[in-house]
């Protein structure tokens, strides 16, 4: 979600599932929602049936989504940026974009400093030795007189973002798109016409994506291109619009919100870095300032960062967090390098964490919950050898997953002889999702409470009980034996009714937060907005002086004095647009469509009166929960309150691989980059350098391969479930019919797929749904196979190869997400 945050200010689905029914055009690309989100897909169908919406599916394969789409466009896996920049070029060239919106709500008119440039595949500021960019080269130009951002509202200044964008995309002609993407030019132009039909006030379209965009070495920039396209078309903040990111699991949004990755704390606060030894230093680095003080200024909502952080520290350390000790800031771990999971396993494999300034021994133990490293990581041969170096491994799971049995992996995975593996493995039986209460936070940012359906079987325990018991045991050890920095553990507050198995309702209450003392109303100090002990109602009530505690400022409002709002189930729909304001709780602030200020024009009138997001009634904004100060008249603040500029970013200096997206080939490139052969792949991409990190070349591996999931299965679990096994009984490889015929491969026969990492066997599914493409003047063949199988399937016998045996350890430089969607293979009859 790094790209959405860099563009709009928050890294999540902008609108919501139900809102898709309000779209006139749906571009489904980088995802196969009919396959992977069949329940949410009902809103696509609803839009088609009730609005006559056009659904366009762009995918290397003719998918389940394509099967019900109005138009299908083939594309070469990994060439999405060229495709999207081609649409942007078309929109600008034909004038089919929402100019008034772009002038009001984007940084299109903002001038960029002279240091920015782009030449032959590289942006300015690239350091070839470290493969990183110096992003200070991409800054805004400040007005010499006012010191505010320099802006040209006409967007004609050659240094304004709009003109720079126009110049950047002029290379992406329909012919070039066809050459790079393998999409027939006529099909591409049809897509352009449909998508840009929403570049005005009357119509609105949405773009939906999922892991088909994320899992590339250019993943973040692909999504950036989509976000930019939507800004250009004026589709962000409006009902029926947005960039709707579909999460890959039922609660991934919740996991990310609650610090699912190493670089963030709950609520997307930043993990402190080594040099930030005091809270003051940390807050100075983390709290953005704005140059924008005039009309349409930025609310710069992140200026409240100190309140969010102080409240988080109070929620973490309770009474031990005082003003004098900076609320316990010193006890928070400071990161000295990249600890995303790919790096952790690399450390494990190499036996050292020494890199990028870090200097620690490799991990000797691993606790893994809700994650199956053997299955989900690329390059399984490296993973199995990494795990084999651990002293101990704890797996909390409801099935015996591949990770728990990594030492039993079949020989071809290249792990050591089991007798030589020192790892002691503990499998803790954990309850499944239906065996515990709690919330799922869906892609639409709804925290939805679910109730336990059945008790866990046997000795299985809930995750929170397992974690709580480990925590309490570790805390006892620190109490008894001391150790390095025991305060870090001893000072953590743990005030649950049942400390060994916290009730998740209590935890949610703690996440929402409460007033610790009476909080006076700033407008009338004789009144209290909250009294001590009361649950907080909104993040406007948070304080930076330690008088409020809040586990995640973004979730504030989920558990108020009114009770657990995640349990609300009202189907009342006052707007008629499917916002259902009293169905559960939607962060932020129960807002259903983010950036909804942009749904209204300069005067505060809805762009499309039949689909208002919020409108100004002369006194306040009404409709959805406004994403702006509720009583701030039109013209006072910009529509993107989380961005320091107050506008959506067509040009974004925050990302590690460029302020504009650019087409790069995958790390395993099938061709040289037709635009700049000297810079074929993303120059800032991350790779590893161990002996197991090998990458293939097209002379040996002449086919492009991609991986995906199936409706019938859930990740690596459901091969334990006979009902689902009967629906999709085994691993298969999808092969274009035309190619299979040439190679003499019959449908249903056995084939072998080999990459630079390994080789797997499966059943050939010969299909018309994959077709040879003409790319850069040559015929290009794409094949693909689903994940879901592995060597651990209980008694069902439904084992199969791990798809990631073949995938490379190459990553996006912003999120460190592996490139599962495009790599090179060869195919043979087995």
Determine the interface stretch with another protein among 65-73, 344-352, 393-401, 690-698 (rule: CB under 8 A): 65-73
> Which residue in the set 8, 41, 301, 440 belongs to the binding site for another protein (CB under 8 A)?
41
Determine the interface stretch with another protein among 11-19, 59-67, 542-550, 685-693 (rule: CB under 8 A): 59-67
Q: Does 62 interact with another protein (rule: CB under 8 A)?
A: yes
Q: Does 794 interact with another protein (rule: CB under 8 A)?
A: no
Asked if 638 and 292 touch (Cβ cutoff 8 Å), the reply is yes
Q: What is the closest distance, in whole angstroms, from the C-beta atom of residue 578 to another protein in the complex? A: 14
> Which residue in the set 22, 28, 30, 35 belongs to the binding site for another protein (CB under 8 A)?
35
Per-residue burial over 491-502, b = 16 or more CB atoms within 10 Å of its CB, e = otherwise: bebeebeeeebb
Angle at 61 between CA 55 and CA 63, to 5 degrees: 50
CB-wise, 33 or 505, nearer to another protein?
33
Tokens 């100060």 found at: 629
Nearest to 787 by CA among 710, 718, 711: 710
d(CA 226, CA 207): 7
Tokens 């409108």 found at: 615
Query: Which residues face 569 on adjacent strands?
Result: 583
Q: What is the closest distance, in whole angstroms, from the C-beta atom of residue 650 to another protein in the complex? A: 34
Asked if 234 and 102 touch (Cβ cutoff 8 Å), the reply is yes
Q: What is the closest distance, in whole angstroms, from the C-beta atom of residue 230 to another protein in the complex? A: 25
d(CA 642, CA 635): 17
Q: What is the closest distance, in whole angstroms, from the C-beta atom of residue 403 to another protein in the complex? A: 25
Which of the 8 DSSP states describes residue 641? T
Nearest to 775 by CA among 253, 66, 78, 242: 78
Angle at 342 between CA 339 and CA 343, to 5 degrees: 45
Determine the interface stretch with another protein among 81-89, 171-179, 300-308, 718-726 (rule: CB under 8 A): 718-726
Q: Does 787 interact with another protein (rule: CB under 8 A)?
A: no
CB-wise, 339 or 440, nearer to another protein?
440
Q: Does 42 interact with another protein (rule: CB under 8 A)?
A: yes
Q: Which helix (H) or strand (E) holds 57?
A: strand 54-59
Helices and strands (H and E) in the chain: how many: 22, 35
- Applying CB under 8 A, the site for another protein has a residue count of 41
d(CA 653, CA 89): 21
Q: What is the closest distance, in whole angstroms, from the C-beta atom of residue 709 to another protein in the complex? A: 13
> Which residue in the set 156, 722, 779, 828 belongs to the binding site for another protein (CB under 8 A)?
722
Q: What is the closest distance, in whole angstroms, from the C-beta atom of residue 830 to another protein in the complex? A: 14
CA distances from 410 to 385, 576, 755, 760, 795 (A): 13, 56, 18, 12, 17
At a CB cut-off of 8 Å and minimum separation 6, what does 618 contact? none
Q: Does 769 interact with another protein (rule: CB under 8 A)?
A: yes
The tokens of 453 are what? Answer: 């359906």
Q: Does 363 interact with another protein (rule: CB under 8 A)?
A: no
> Which residue in the set 10, 48, 461, 591 belongs to the binding site for another protein (CB under 8 A)?
48
- One DSSP character per residue, 565-591 reads GGG-B----TTSSS--TTBSEETTTT-
Length of the chain, please? 830
Handedness of CA 276, 282, 288, 289 (dihedral sign): negative
CB-wise, 327 or 583, nearer to another protein?
583
Q: Does 430 interact with another protein (rule: CB under 8 A)?
A: no
The tokens of 392 are what? Answer: 């101990």
Determine the interface stretch with another protein among 30-38, 239-247, 509-517, 610-618 (rule: CB under 8 A): 30-38
Q: What is the closest distance, in whole angstroms, from the C-beta atom of residue 32 to another protein in the complex? A: 10
Determine the interface stretch with another protein among 63-71, 76-84, 504-512, 575-583 (rule: CB under 8 A): 63-71
CB-wise, 59 or 257, nearer to another protein?
59
Q: Does 399 interact with another protein (rule: CB under 8 A)?
A: no
3-state secondary structure of 391: coil
CB-wise, 13 or 34, nearer to another protein?
34
Q: What is the closest distance, in whole angstroms, from the C-beta atom of residue 398 to another protein in the complex? A: 20
CB-wise, 45 or 201, nearer to another protein?
45
Q: What is the closest distance, in whole angstroms, from the C-beta atom of residue 724 to another protein in the complex? A: 8
Range 727-766, binding another protein (CB under 8 A):
727-732, 747-748, 763-766
CB-wise, 113 or 248, nearer to another protein?
248
At a CB cut-off of 8 Å and minimum separation 6, what does 502 contact? 464, 468, 496
Q: Does 498 interact with another protein (rule: CB under 8 A)?
A: no
Determine the interface stretch with another protein among 68-76, 401-409, 498-506, 567-575 (rule: CB under 8 A): 68-76
Query: Which residues face 27 on adjacent strands?
Result: 56, 207
Nearest to 442 by CA among 215, 190, 251: 251
CB-wise, 62 or 496, nearer to another protein?
62
Tokens 């030449």 found at: 119
Q: Does 725 interact with another protein (rule: CB under 8 A)?
A: yes
CB-wise, 36 or 298, nearer to another protein?
36
CB-wise, 308 or 446, nearer to another protein?
446
Q: Does 829 interact with another protein (rule: CB under 8 A)?
A: no
The tokens of 265 are what? Answer: 């704390």
Q: Does 791 interact with another protein (rule: CB under 8 A)?
A: no
Q: What is the closest distance, in whole angstroms, from the C-beta atom of residue 192 to another protein in the complex? A: 19
Nearest to 257 by CA among 83, 23, 505, 444: 444
CB-wise, 129 or 723, nearer to another protein?
723
Angle at 391 between CA 388 and CA 394, to 5 degrees: 90
> Which residue in the set 2, 25, 47, 66 belongs to the binding site for another protein (CB under 8 A)?
66
At a CB cut-off of 8 Å and minimum separation 6, what does 813 contact? 132, 217, 220, 656, 657, 682, 684, 685, 686
> Which residue in the set 442, 565, 767, 822 belongs to the binding site for another protein (CB under 8 A)?
767
CB-wise, 332 or 740, nearer to another protein?
740
> Which residue in the set 420, 571, 768, 777 belongs to the binding site for another protein (CB under 8 A)?
768
Asked if 658 and 221 touch (Cβ cutoff 8 Å), the reply is yes
Q: Does 709 interact with another protein (rule: CB under 8 A)?
A: no
Handedness of CA 30, 35, 38, 43 (dihedral sign): positive
CB-wise, 711 or 759, nearer to another protein?
711
Handedness of CA 182, 185, 187, 188 (dihedral sign): positive
Q: Does 45 interact with another protein (rule: CB under 8 A)?
A: yes
d(CA 176, CA 80): 13
Q: What are phi and psi of 504, to 5 degrees?
A: -70, -20
Q: Does 34 interact with another protein (rule: CB under 8 A)?
A: yes
Q: Does 422 interact with another protein (rule: CB under 8 A)?
A: no
The tokens of 578 are what? Answer: 């499917």
Q: What is the closest distance, in whole angstroms, from the C-beta atom of residue 62 to another protein in the complex? A: 6
Q: Does 712 interact with another protein (rule: CB under 8 A)?
A: yes
Q: What is the closest distance, in whole angstroms, from the C-beta atom of residue 783 to another protein in the complex? A: 14
Q: Does 295 interact with another protein (rule: CB under 8 A)?
A: no
Q: Does 68 interact with another protein (rule: CB under 8 A)?
A: yes
Handedness of CA 362, 364, 369, 375 (dihedral sign): positive
CB-wise, 454 or 727, nearer to another protein?
727
CB-wise, 434 or 727, nearer to another protein?
727
Query: Which residues face 759 on adjacent strands?
Result: 754
| Binding residues for another protein (CB under 8 A) | 34-35, 38-39, 41-42, 45-46, 48-49, 52, 62, 64-68, 70, 72, 711-712, 722-732, 747-748, 763-769
């Amino acid at each position: 979600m790094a790209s959405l945050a860099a563009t709009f200010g928050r890294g999540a689905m902008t609108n919501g599932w139900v809102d898709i029914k309000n779209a006139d055009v749906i571009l489904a690309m980088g995802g196969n929602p009919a396959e992977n989100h069949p329940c949410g897909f009902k809103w696509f169908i609803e839009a088609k049936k009730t609005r006559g919406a056009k659904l366009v599916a762009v995918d290397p394969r003719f998918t389940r989504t394509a099967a019900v789409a109005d138009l299908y466009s083939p594309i070469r896996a990994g060439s999405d940026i060229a495709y999207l920049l081609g649409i942007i070029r078309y929109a600008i060239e034909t004038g089919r974009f929402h100019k008034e919106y772009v002038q009001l709500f984007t940084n299109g008119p903002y001038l960029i400093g002279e240091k920015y440039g782009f030449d032959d595949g590289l942006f300015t500021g690239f350091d070839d030795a470290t493969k990183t960019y110096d992003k200070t080269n991409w800054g805004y130009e400040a007005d010499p007189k006012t010191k505010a951002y320099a802006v040209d509202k006409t967007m004609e200044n050659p240094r304004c973002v709009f003109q720079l964008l126009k110049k950047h995309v002029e290379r992406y002609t329909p012919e070039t798109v066809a050459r790079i993407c393998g999409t027939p030019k006529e099909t591409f132009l049809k897509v352009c016409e449909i998508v840009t039909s929403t570049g005005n006030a009357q119509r609105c379209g949405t773009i939906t994506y999922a892991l088909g965009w994320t899992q590339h070495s250019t993943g973040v920039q692909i999504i950036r291109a989509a976000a930019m396209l939507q800004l250009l078309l004026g589709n962000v903040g409006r009902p029926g619009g947005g960039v709707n990111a579909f999460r890959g699991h039922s609660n991934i949004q919740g996991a990310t919100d609650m610090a699912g990755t190493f670089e963030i704390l709950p609520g997307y606060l930043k993990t402190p870095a080594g040099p930030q030894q005091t809270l003051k230093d940390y807050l100075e680095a983390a709290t953005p300032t704005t140059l924008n003080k005039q009309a349409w200024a930025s609310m710069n909502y992140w200026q409240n960062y100190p309140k969010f952080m102080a409240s988080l520290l109070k929620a973490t350390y309770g009474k031990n967090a005082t003003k004098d000790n900076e609320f316990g800031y010193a006890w928070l771990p400071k990161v000295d390098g990249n600890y995303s999971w790919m790096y952790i396993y690399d450390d494990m494999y190499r036996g050292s964490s020494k890199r990028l300034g870090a200097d620690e021994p490799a991990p000797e133990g691993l606790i893994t919950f809700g994650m199956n490293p053997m299955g989900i990581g690329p390059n399984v041969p490296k993973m199995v050898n990494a795990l084999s170096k651990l002293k101990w491994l704890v797996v909390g799971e409801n099935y015996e997953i591949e990770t728990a049995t990594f030492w039993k992996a079949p020989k071809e995975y290249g792990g050591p002889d089991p007798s030589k593996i020192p790892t002691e493995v503990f499998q803790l039986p954990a309850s499944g999702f239906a065996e515990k209460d709690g919330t799922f936070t869906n892609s639409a940012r709804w925290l939805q409470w679910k109730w336990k359906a059945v008790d866990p079987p046997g000795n299985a325990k809930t995750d929170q009980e397992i974690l709580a018991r480990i925590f309490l045991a570790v805390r006892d050890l620190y109490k008894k034996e001391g150790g390095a920095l025991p305060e870090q553990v001893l000072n953590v507050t743990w005030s649950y009714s049942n400390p060994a198995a916290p009730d998740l309702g209590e935890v949610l209450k703690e996440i929402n937060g409460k007033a610790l003392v009476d909080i006076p109303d700033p407008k009338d100090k004789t009144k209290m907005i909250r009294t001590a002990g009361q649950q907080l109602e909104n993040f406007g009530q948070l304080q930076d002086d330690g008088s409020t505690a809040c586990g995640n400022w973004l979730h504030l409002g989920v558990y108020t004095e009114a009770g657990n709002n995640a349990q609300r189930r009202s189907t009342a729909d006052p707007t008629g647009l499917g916002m259902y304001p009293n169905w559960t709780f939607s962060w932020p602030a129960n807002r259903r469509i983010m950036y909804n200020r942009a749904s209204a024009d300069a005067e505060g009138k809805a762009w499309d009166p039949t689909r208002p997001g919020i409108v100004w009634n002369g006194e306040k904004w009404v409709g959805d929960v406004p994403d702006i100060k509720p009583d701030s008249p039109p013209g006072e603040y910009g529509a993107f309150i989380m961005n320091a500029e107050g506008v959506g970013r067509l040009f974004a200096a925050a990302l590690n691989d460029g302020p504009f997206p650019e087409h790069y080939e995958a790390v395993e490139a099938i061709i040289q980059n037709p635009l700049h052969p000297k810079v074929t792949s993303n120059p800032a991409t991350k790779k590893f350098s161990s002996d197991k990190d090998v990458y293939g070349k097209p002379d040996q591996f002449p086919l492009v391969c991609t991986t995906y999931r199936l409706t019938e299965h859930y990740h690596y679990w459901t091969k334990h479930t006979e009902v689902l096994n009967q629906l999709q009984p085994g691993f298969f490889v999808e092969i274009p019919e035309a190619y299979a015929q040439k190679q003499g491969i019959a449908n249903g026969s056995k084939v072998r797929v080999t990459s630079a990492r390994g080789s797997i066997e499966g059943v050939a599914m010969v299909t018309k749904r994959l077709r040879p493409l003409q790319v850069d003047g040559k015929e290009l063949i794409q094949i693909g196979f689903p994940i879901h199988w592995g060597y651990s399937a209980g008694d069902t016998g439904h084992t199969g190869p791990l798809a990631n045996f073949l995938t490379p350890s190459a990553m996006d430089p912003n999120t460190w997400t592996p490139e599962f969607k495009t790599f090179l293979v060869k195919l043979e009859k087995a």
